[in-house]
Structure 1
């Protein structure tokens, strides 16, 4: 699988889209800094200027093209011809998107460190300042980033699954973007509809998208998700595994 992963990373690194779209992430962070103002300096630093949704959207745009565009252009045939097996190709693509996910989070942290050093958008806050969970602000930022990598990996598994189901990258982008922006709201509506056992419905996959926001705002989102942060973490990991495996099974049976 090393050869397949090397090829996927090479293709990703030599495309323009994954690089220039980072400017969207930085502009989004600047917008959040201007919108929330200097009164929320600590929260902005902890959440890397609320970069979570922007990163997920970027993953959807870039990640969907890794699968769907190769299906549309039939270049997947060349990839499959050179690969040892379908599993290696699928896993290499998944890991490539995951590595890009980690890279985007590192960029968000570096930009946050810059903004918290240079007083452009917010009043700089000492990294040793105690904030959430009786931890320093720096640890808060690292922990929130780690939690968000788990949440965004769930989105990656959905990207892989929907890309294997649908050949059109446009449709894949629209579907996953709707999940990102409306998933949490749909889950809340489902929980408030009283159409079944709440203890079971609260484990729906859309509810797991609350993991990051609940981590840094537990008091509010715990009432919304009706699950603890630990339960959300477990659910997110389980659904990530399920969607990844389903995507692989569909990819293996897909005719090219």
Structure 2
């Protein structure tokens, strides 16, 4: 397993998608800096990074797996390593670790951009919505990373199912911009079934904001602990389904 992990890490670091993901994060945070009023809310959400990191991950995760088939390197990969499970897990861990790297990058960008745009205006240890600004920032990015575990499993499952990066990316964008609204509307439409509907996968998107905004629990109908556990469980379920499809996909 360690050998497979080293190989996938080396491969990922030498692919353009890793750099492109970082560039997208940089461009989107800069865009938010130039087009939005900088306030405490902007800072705790890392200039919109918590919304873009999952989108980047679903695109990167799908591309990282599909390029093996596009470049025909999957044949050599399977020849060198007879265990498909090790290959799959290694790729999963590499992409998930990349999401952590993006989150760390978002923290650094937030500090830098706040220093350049609102120097000294907001104190990181000042309280805002029950926590310090810094704690809010870290909690929101922690939620984004947990959601990325869900997203990696989803992207791997989708790329094995539809075999098209563009389709997977489109699904990721739809989830990012309409998933929460659709989930909320669904529960409002069928209030008697909220006990079941609150566990729908679209509801997991709330984790990127609910950890610092308790009012979001009224929309998700889940506690923070329930939301974290459900998000991880869905990530595992999607990951297992993706592995099942990977094992049966023709080379």
Paired residue for 1:127? Answer: 124
Kept after mapping to 2: 8 A contact 1:157/1:240:
yes
* Superposition deviation, residue 223 in structure 1: 2.5
Kept after mapping to 2: 8 A contact 1:151/1:208:
yes
Alpha-carbon RMSD across the aligned residues, in angstroms, is 1.9
1:49 counterpart SS class? helix
Q: Which runs of 5+ in 1 are unaligned?
A: none
- Aligned residue pairs: how many? 251
Find the aligned partners of 2:31 and 2:207 in 1 and give their Cα distance: 23
Mean Cα deviation higher: 94-103 or 14-23: 14-23
1:212-247 Cα deviation digits (max 9, x unpaired):
12223332x222212222221121111112111221
Q: 1:200 to 1:34 in 2, by over 3 A?
A: same
Kept after mapping to 2: 8 A contact 1:202/1:226:
yes
Kept after mapping to 2: 8 A contact 1:191/1:202:
yes
Kept after mapping to 1: 8 A contact 2:58/2:152:
yes
Find the aligned partners of 1:101 and 1:9 in 2 and give their Cα distance: 13
Q: 1:121 to 1:127 in 2, by over 3 A?
A: closer
Give the structure-2-normalised TM-score. Answer: 0.92
* Superposition deviation, residue 195 in structure 1: 7.8
1:99 matches 2:97: yes
Equivalent of 2:160 in 140, 159, 164: 164
* Superposition deviation, residue 123 in structure 1: 5.8
Q: Which runs of 5+ in 2 are unaligned?
A: none
Aligned counterparts, 1:204-219, within 5 A: 204-219=200-215
1:234 matches 2:229: yes
